[in-house]
Amino acid sequence: MKFKTFILAAAALLSLASLAGCAGNGSASPTFDELLVSRRSVRSYDATKTISEAEVRTLLTKTQEAPSWANFQPSKYYVAISPEKVAAVQDMVGGNKERIQGAPVLIVSTFEKGKSGFFRGEQTNELGDFWGAYDNGLSNAYLILTARAMGFDTLIMGMRDASALRTLFQIPAEEMVTAVIALGYRAEEPNQPKHRDFDEIVKFF
């Protein structure tokens, strides 16, 4: 990672922690470590609470701080916030429909193909457009952590009808639909899943 990109990423991470005071629950602002621990995949939402367009704009602005290949910023977001559009997207996420009934906002995440991982139109290594998915994942990570800092909860859903979503939001063919992200307030405290043993995923040489 270039030094400039590292500095931007570090600044963005610090900004996530500073956003924690927006939670609105009267408690002290959590540390960044607390954000990482408290962020969970939430499958039960409080239908009595809403999220404004202004709040979603603030949230998605932070995703633009995420690093990306050559700063191509390939990620795009389509926001279902009206009751009609939310209901339509709920029918496009398979078995997750019942789990997100109370979520007031659903966000479709995409990335532009042929940018990240390419140079002058040619892919630079065997991963090709997988780099676009990688960059989109980084952007989504900023989204879900910022959401938690603002007091919101999220669920990233890979089960989705990409063709139907493409039609509903008029998503161009050059964009790959990756996920639908539910945004709302948890109705109950989610369980903390057991993590794999550290030595299974990290090797030092």
pLDDT beneath 50, residues of the chain: 1-11, 14, 17-26
Whole-number pLDDT of residue 29: 76
Residue 52 lies in a domain: yes
Residue 200 lies in a domain: no
**Which residues 6+ apart lie within 8 Å of 200 measured at CB?**
none
Contact call for residues 41 and 156 (beta carbons, < 8 A):
yes
Residue 180 lies in a domain: yes
CATH of the domain at 73: 3.40.109.10
Question: For the chain, how many structural domains are there in total?
Answer: 1
Whole-number pLDDT of residue 61: 98
Q: What is the pLDDT of residues 158-200, one digit of tens each?
A: 999 999 999 999 999 999 999 999 999 999 999 888 999 999 9
Whole-number pLDDT of residue 27: 56
Residue 81 lies in a domain: yes
Residue 199 lies in a domain: no
Whole-number pLDDT of residue 130: 97
Q: What is the pLDDT of residues 6-23, one digit of tens each?
A: 444 444 554 554 444 444
Q: What is the C-alpha separation between 12 and 16, in angstroms, rounded?
A: 6
Residue 157 lies in a domain: yes
Q: What is the C-alpha separation between 27 and 49, in angstroms, rounded?
A: 19
| Distance from chain centroid for Cα 108 | 9
**Is 26 buried (19+), middle (13-18) or exposed (0-12) by CB count in 10 A?**
exposed
Q: Which two tokens stand for residue 96?
A: 């997750």
| Residue 32: DSSP 8-state | H
Whole-number pLDDT of residue 30: 76
Closest CA to 73 of 136, 164, 31: 136
Whole-number pLDDT of residue 5: 45
Alpha-carbon distance values, 132 to 58, 117, 174, 176, 193 (Å): 23, 7, 12, 9, 28
What b/e readout covers 188-199, taking b as 16+ CB neighbours within 10 angstroms? Answer: eebeeeeeeeee
Its domain, for residue 113, covers 3-23+31-188
- Compute, in degrees rounded to 10, the torsion defined by CA atoms 4, 76, 178, 1: -10
Residue 63 lies in a domain: yes
Residue 43 lies in a domain: yes
